[in-house]
């Protein structure tokens, strides 16, 4: 984070002279939910001092819930809300009954995609980690950033023991969220490892006047429904009754730090998602433009796979982590004013 952070047009040091407490400008709030299906769950809210507000969900793998930038909501929220983990069921497709959306829902750590059964073990849709509470080890405002760290362990007797260490950093005065994850296999056997970062963009950032840019090497449809939409995979239509979801798979392998974006000139708001393609060589685009379910998923993943854990294992496509070793992932969410001059165009290098 080069240079002194800026707070409302002034260097942070100068801004501090004008307040009695930095919390007037930037702070971390910790609360517990009191109503509905979220009752009892923790929520940590970060205010950057630069127009960015971020809700973290410690009881859902320290994922990211509601986000706003200069008053504009960024993330889609599902009808279920952010359900407390005690009400979540890890079986079959029950994930859909507690998937609240939000800017980041982590899927994994040993499976994602459709539910399947592999070697006598049932793997629910999109895995189990998203309903595992985190042990929060740090929540601190420094001279440069707001930092929250935590540990999330997905484990069972006679099975996997995967530890996710997560650090979320919001530079002071910025519109940026940095996510750094390390997954360690703490069992005595190799562990299958699949992870997908389910980032969910909603209205008003997402609308028919916004520009979607995914400069991948190649794009392919997940299934027959997506094949029908290949000609306009990048087009962001208004909500459509009866819309059938489409998923497109984008190859980013060997591309260094990749960037995809949604730019809305009408809202003067742009979201850029950057991710390290060394660990996350693919991105799945979830296009779901129905009434109420009006959402664009931008989903970096460690394996370009969409048919579940069992099929990945059967076809030798399942990544594995050796005992005692780790893999790391890095994502960045950058919110800023719009840069778009031609709404409705796309910029894929396919």
What local confidence, expressed as pLDDT, does residue 343 receive?
39
Residue 348 in any domain: the answer is: no
Residue 1 forms part of a structural domain: no
Question: Which two three-digit tokens encode residue 155?
Answer: 């484990």
236-268 pLDDT, tens digit per residue, is 999 999 999 999 999 999 989 999 999 999 999
pLDDT tens track for 320-347: 999 999 999 999 999 999 996 443 345 4
Q: What's residue 349's pLDDT?
A: 39
Q: What burial class does residue 332 get, using C-beta atoms within 10 Å of its C-beta: 0-12 exposed, 13-18 middle, 19+ buried?
A: middle
Q: Name the phi and psi angles at 62, rounded to 5.
A: 60, 40
The answer as to whether 129 is a domain residue is yes
Looking at residue 345, its pLDDT comes to 41
291, 240 Cβ separation under 8 angstroms: yes
The CATH number for 31's domain is 2.70.98.10
Q: Which residues pair with 165 in a beta bridge?
A: 151, 182
Whole-number pLDDT of residue 76: 98
60 inside domain: yes
Q: Distance from CA of residue 50 to its chain's centroid?
A: 21
> What is the span of the domain harbouring residue 19?
6-336
30 falls within a domain: yes
Q: What is the pLDDT of residue 3?
A: 81
Q: Is residue 247 part of a domain?
A: yes
Residue 147 lies in a domain: yes
The residue behind tokens 């990544």 is 319
Q: Is residue 350 part of a domain?
A: no
**Which stretches of the chain drop beneath a pLDDT of 50?**
1, 341-345, 347, 349-350
Q: Is the pTM of this model over 0.85?
A: yes
Q: How many domains does the chain have?
A: 1
pLDDT of residue 340: 66
pLDDT tens digits for range 37-51: 999 999 999 999 999
Predicted confidence at residue 2, as pLDDT, reads: 58
């Amino acid at each position: 984070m080069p240079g002194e952070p800026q707070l409302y047009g002034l260097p942070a040091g100068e801004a501090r002279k004008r307040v009695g407490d930095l919390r007037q400008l930037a702070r971390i709030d910790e609360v517990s939910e009191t109503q509905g299906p979220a009752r009892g769950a923790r929520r940590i809210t970060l205010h950057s001092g630069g127009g960015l507000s971020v809700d973290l969900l410690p009881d859902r793998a320290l994922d990211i819930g509601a986000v706003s930038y200069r008053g504009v909501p960024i993330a889609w929220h599902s009808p279920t809300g952010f359900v407390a983990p005690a009400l979540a069921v890890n079986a079959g497709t029950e994930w859909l009954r507690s998937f609240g959306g939000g800017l980041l829902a982590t899927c994994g750590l040993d499976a994602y995609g459709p539910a399947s059964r592999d070697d006598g073990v049932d793997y629910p849709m999109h895995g189990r980690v998203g309903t595992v509470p985190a042990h929060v080890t740090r929540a601190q405002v420094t001279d440069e950033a707001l930092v929250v760290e935590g540990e999330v362990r997905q484990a069972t007797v006679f099975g996997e023991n995967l530890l996710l260490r997560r650090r979320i950093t919001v530079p002071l005065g910025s519109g940026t969220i940095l996510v750094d994850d390390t997954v360690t296999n703490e069992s005595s056997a190799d562990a299958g490892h699949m992870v997908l970062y389910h980032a969910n963009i909603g209205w008003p950032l997402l609308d028919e006047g916004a520009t979607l840019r995914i400069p991948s090497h190649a794009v392919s449809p997940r299934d027959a429904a997506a094949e029908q939409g290949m000609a306009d995979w990048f087009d962001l239509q208004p909500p459509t009754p009866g819309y059938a979801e489409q998923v497109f798979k984008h190859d980013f392998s060997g591309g260094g730090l990749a960037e995809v974006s949604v730019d809305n000139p009408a809202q003067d708001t742009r979201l850029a998602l950057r991710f390290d393609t060394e660990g996350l060589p693919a991105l799945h685009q979830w296009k779901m433009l129905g009434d109420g379910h009006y959402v664009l998923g931008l989903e970096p993943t460690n394996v370009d796979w969409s048919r579940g854990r069992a099929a990945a294992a059967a076809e030798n496509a399942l990544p594995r982590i050796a005992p005692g070793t780790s893999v790391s992932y890095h994502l960045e969410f950058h919110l800023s004013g719009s840069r778009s001059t031609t709404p409705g165009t796309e910029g894929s290098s396919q």
